[in-house]
A and B are shown apart, each in its own frame.
Chain A
């Protein structure tokens, strides 16, 4: 079955970086993109960006440009999301999901989420 399994809880100090992994299985990894969304306390879902697993093409929300790096490793079917210069308001649950990018489509299968806490 299709699964996306994310790495565990992370705690960082302000100014640090965090790298979250998302290991995919059950489908052909390079036929899809990996999408990243976060949910901060008391806030709604927020789209961050996506990366094509076939060619590395990315698209990201303007507010994260310059701080966000998304990569994939096709040898292990794993996607990575790195966020730098962390602030307390980056405290959130970060989700990866599978995405078709050839035509407009919605993220269908999602990971379980990774809690990232930014606190001094």
Chain B
């Protein structure tokens, strides 16, 4: 089973700043089947990125994903107030079919 480790656990930043979140896999993620979700308390998780770097529907271009193999990143180029939330990486297509990272909390400084 692939274990995903996200870092940091919590990040305190201000609107307008650039942020990079990390997701490291214990084994290579096949075909870059790595996704990122944004989750706000009380709401449904929102898919941001799939295939490591493909933005989902209606996702602003300030969100970008990169990486391959075991190291993946999600970058938000200029934080907006609406971006403060939890972020999870997800590997899919392996066995078991889905594994989430433990999440990164992005909070307003």
Contacts and interface: CB of A to CB of B under 8 A. Distances in A.
Interface of A: 35, 37, 39, 43-47, 50, 59, 61-62, 95, 97, 104-108, 110-113
Contact of B44 (A43, A47, A111): A111
A102 B51 CA distance: 16
Contacts of B97: 47, 50, 59
B103 A95 contact: no
A106 B47 CA distance: 8
Contacts of A62: 96
Task: Say which size band chain B's interface belongs to.
Answer: 20 to 34
A93 B90 CA distance: 18
A65 to B, nearest CB: 11
Given A44-B88, A95-B44, A95-B45, A104 B31 contact: yes
Contacts of B92: 104-106
B46 to A, nearest CB: 8
B99 interface: yes
B63 interface: no
Contacts of A39: 39
A44 B90 contact: no
16 contacts: A35-B98, A37-B98, A44-B100, A44-B102, A45-B88, A47-B98, A95-B45, A104-B31, A105-B50, A105-B92, A106-B90, A108-B47, A108-B56, A110-B46, A111-B44, A112-B44
A35 to B, nearest CB: 8
Contact of B47 (A46, A104, A107, A112): A107
Interface string B61-81: 000000000000000000000
Contacts of A61: 96
B103 to A, nearest CB: 4
Nearest to A46: B100
Contacts of A104: 31, 33, 92-93
A77 B43 CA distance: 22
B84 interface: no
A105 B98 CA distance: 10
